[in-house]
Chain A
Amino acid sequence: MTPTETFDARFVATDLEVRYHGSDPKGHPAFAIDRLELQPGHSLALVGESGSGKTTAIRTLLGLVRPTRGTVTWAGRSVAAMRGAELRTFRTAVQLIPQDVDGALDPRQTIGSAIAEGWRAGGRKGLRPSEDQTAVVRRLLDEVGLPASVAARHPHEVSGGQRQRAIIARALAVGPRILLLDEPTSGLDATVAVRILELIERLRGERGLGTLLISHDLGVVSRLCPRTVVLYRGEVVESGPTARLLLRPRHPYTAALRRSVPELGVPFRVPLLPSGSAAAINPMVGCRYGPRCAYALAGPCSTRQELTGVDEAATVRCARAGDLGAIDPLSEAPLLRT
Chain B
Amino acid sequence: MNDVTMNDTTMNDTTINATPTKDPVAPLLAVRELTVEIGGVTLLDIDELETDRAEIVGLVGESGAGKSLLQAAILGLLPVSARVTGSIRFDGIEIVGASRRTMHEVRGGRIAVVLQAARAALTPTLRSDEWIDRALSLHDVPKAERAVRLAHALDAVRLDPRLLHRYPHQLSGGEAQRVSIALAVALRAELVLADEATSALDVTVQAEVAELFRELRASEGTAFLLVSHDLALVAGLAHRINIIERGRIVEHGGPEILEHPADPVTQALVAAKPALPRADATAA
Residues on A facing B (Cβ under 8 Å): 49-50, 160, 189-194, 216-219, 222-223, 243, 246-248, 256-271, 328, 330
Contact = CB atoms under 8 A, between A and B. Distances in A.
B276 A264 contact: no
Interface string B251-284: 0000000110000000011111111111100001
A190 B230 contact: yes
A217 B231 CA distance: 15
B236 interface: yes
Contacts of B259: 265
By Cβ-Cβ distance, the 5 closest A-B pairs, closest first, are A268-B236, A49-B202, A260-B207, A190-B272, A262-B232
B203 A49 contact: yes
B203 A263 contact: no
B179 to A, nearest CB: 18
A190 B203 contact: no
A50 B202 contact: yes
Contact of A262 (B173, B235, B270): B235
B232 A218 contact: no
B5 interface: no
B276 A189 contact: no
Interface stretch (B12-20, B160-168, B208-216): B208-216
A247 B277 CA distance: 7
Given A256-B204, A271-B207, A264 B235 contact: yes
Given A265-B258, A271-B211, A246 B272 contact: no
B203 A266 contact: no
Q: Is the interface of B mostly helix, strand, loop or mixed?
A: helix
Contact of B62 (A50, A190, A219, A260): A190
Contact of A217 (B203, B205, B211): B203
A321 B202 CA distance: 25
Contacts of B278: 247, 330
B229 interface: yes
Contact of A270 (B204, B211, B233, B276): B211
Given A216-B203, A264-B231, A271-B204, A243 B211 contact: no
Nearest to A266: B236
A258 B211 contact: no
Contact of A248 (B204, B236, B270, B279): B279
B258 A264 contact: yes
A182 B173 CA distance: 20
Nearest to B233: A262
Contact of B63 (A189, A270, A330): A189
Residue among A194, A223, A243 with max Cβ neighbours from chain B (10 Å): A194
A176 to B, nearest CB: 28
Residue among B202, B205, B271 with max Cβ neighbours from chain A (10 Å): B202
Contact of A219 (B173, B231, B273): B273
B258 A49 contact: no
B266 to A, nearest CB: 11
B243 to A, nearest CB: 12
Given A190-B272, A259-B207, 16 more contacts: A49-B202, A194-B272, A219-B274, A222-B276, A247-B278, A256-B204, A261-B232, A262-B206, A262-B207, A262-B210, A263-B275, A263-B276, A264-B231, A264-B232, A264-B235, A265-B235
Given A190-B230, A191-B269, A271-B208, A261 B279 contact: no
